[in-house]
Amino acid sequence: MGDVITSAEGEGGSLSEPEATEPKNIRQSRDPHLDRNDHHEDHQHSISQAVELSNTPATSARVQSEPLPRTRSEIRKRVFTLTAPALGEMFLMSFVSIVDMMMVGQLGAAAIAAVGLTIQPMLFLQSVFMALNVGTTAVVAQSIGARSFDSANAAAKQSLLVSLVLGIIISGGSVIGAPYVLKFMGADPDVMKAGVGYFQVVAGGIIFNCIGMSIAAALRGAGDTRTPMIVNGLANILNIFGNYALIFGKFGMPALGVFGAGLSTTASRGIATLLFIPIAINGRRGIRLATPGGWRPDRSMLSRIWRVGWPAALEQFVMRGGHVLYARVVAGLGTAIFASHQIGLNVLSLTFLPGQAFSIAATTLVGQSLGADDPAEAETCARETHRLGLIVGGITAAILFAFGRQITWLYIKDPVVIADTALILKIYALAQPSQSTQFILAGALRGAGDTKWPLYSTAVGVWGVRLLLAILFINAFGWGLVGAWIALDLDQMSRSLVLSRRFRAGHWKQMRV
């Protein structure tokens, strides 16, 4: 099934503060030809248009380049231009995940638990790629803002190269280690039976997902959020039909149950990868891999990406490791209760979407503004993006609070599971403003290259608040699933507080990657 890979259910640079003037690495990365001919460029192109710079091989791709917005109305327009495709892409991904979970739910609570216990270890395994993508998006965005298009292409190539090598290693190791992972997660025997095969087939497709994620991250850094939406949207629609056919044995296919859901997920990710590759090669959407050279490991470029990405890598390991242990604690309450928990998380994936989409807009706009050496514009873009995200988050909270029972009924008809899930959705509705804040401000900080503070906030929230309080509330206070979700609320609130304080301090405005 199409489990949603969130870059930030999640939410990493240096605390040192360079001079506010344009750093040497940015000045030197500019294409000299472009510096001599900037006055020839038409700065009125919209984001859907491309800038053709064919005088140099490195910039022969049509790049998504647009003048930075200056008024609030222009900023809002640019935010929605970036957010709408990303939101559409992620909504479709979450919708597919929800439909898949509904299909799996027809097989019973054990099937839901089998998929649920697999998701967090799978996300943990992919943490390094998520971090690589953070660095890639930031370097590409600032390179585009600095009009160094050859640097943007080089970053995309190096990211893809690393993703390919590590993807092969992690896919193979995950297939072999699947039974041991599920045992560690505390799976009951009935869950183990369905979960091992599902884990293995999905783990085998990690390589496809990582390549696609790498290309999508580069495109988003260039300002193209529409292409990832279309490609992933098509793949996810195919995943729905594949799940229906392979879970229940329709259209002449065998009825494979949970294993069929995993097989459909891997096949759809492979299709997405096949669609992304030619788009990135021909360069029509902002990044061009067909430029000469750049495929040998480039220590300088990898260092730039790593400088931004390593805190995000550690952040992802910290966050996913905490999520794995948190899931294990909740799994100790029993298969039926964990099924309620997993349905709640699945519904919750929809509430992540506005914050994640606005986070992508904040990363791109802040990165491009700082690349153009305009920190004031970067701050204005971040604040306006945050304001819009809070409005959407408030609407989402109201829906969760009012319609939790009706939403849960679509998954399963067990009245106990419905009642438990509806209650925890009401609890989590209270955390929506904090969730929107931590997503969007973390995205703004990442666009600046300040990736350490999202790491700090995640460590505090996931380990210092969520995990410890869940253990306390469940084992000491006896609050059960309700206690686990109160801890989840407090996690989001603590992360929001840490990131808000860092953003207001303003140190990120002097950073470059």
pLDDT (tens digit per residue) in 12-32: 333 233 333 333 333 333 333
**Would you say residue 450 has pLDDT above 70?**
yes
The number of beta carbons lying within 10 Å of the beta carbon of residue 145 is 27
Range with lowest mean pLDDT among 94-103, 164-173, 238-247: 94-103
Say what the pLDDT of residue 85 is: 78
387: pLDDT confidence band, cut at 50, 70 and 90?
Answer: very high
Say what the pLDDT of residue 201 is: 92
Say what the pLDDT of residue 315 is: 78
285: pLDDT confidence band, cut at 50, 70 and 90?
Answer: low
Contact 470, 484 (CB under 8 A): yes
pLDDT digits (tens, 9 = 90+) for 24-73: 333 333 333 333 333 333 333 333 333 332 333 333 333 344 555 567 78
Say what the pLDDT of residue 286 is: 66
d(C-alpha 382, C-alpha 435), whole Å: 16
Per DSSP, 218 falls in state: H
What is the SS3 assignment for 51? strand
The number of beta carbons lying within 10 Å of the beta carbon of residue 207 is 23
The number of beta carbons lying within 10 Å of the beta carbon of residue 235 is 27
The number of beta carbons lying within 10 Å of the beta carbon of residue 489 is 21
**Tokens at residue 144, please?**
């585009």
Report the Cα–Cα distance between both ends of the chain, in Å, rounded: 37
Which residue(s) pair with 63 in the sheet?
A: 51
Q: In whole angstroms, how far apart are CA 401 and each of 306, 328, 357, 483?
A: 41, 27, 22, 18
Range with lowest mean pLDDT among 93-102, 255-264, 330-339: 93-102
**Would you say residue 188 has pLDDT above 70?**
yes
Say what the pLDDT of residue 42 is: 37
Range with lowest mean pLDDT among 40-49, 130-139, 319-328, 351-360: 40-49
**Would you say residue 431 has pLDDT above 50?**
yes
What global pTM score does this model have? Answer: 0.65
pLDDT digits (tens, 9 = 90+) for 115-126: 888 887 887 877
Q: How many residues does the chain have?
A: 513
Question: What mean pLDDT do residues 482-487 have?
Answer: 96
**Sign of the CA dihedral 425, 426, 432, 435?**
negative
512: pLDDT confidence band, cut at 50, 70 and 90?
Answer: low
Say what the pLDDT of residue 325 is: 92
Say what the pLDDT of residue 237 is: 87
The residue ranking higher by pLDDT, 248 or 320, is 248
What is the SS3 assignment for 283? coil
Q: In whole angstroms, how far apart are CA 123 and each of 71, 82, 295, 328, 358?
A: 39, 25, 28, 15, 22
Which residue(s) pair with 51 in the sheet?
A: 63
Range with lowest mean pLDDT among 68-72, 134-138, 207-211, 504-508: 68-72
371: pLDDT confidence band, cut at 50, 70 and 90?
Answer: confident
d(C-alpha 132, C-alpha 355), whole Å: 21
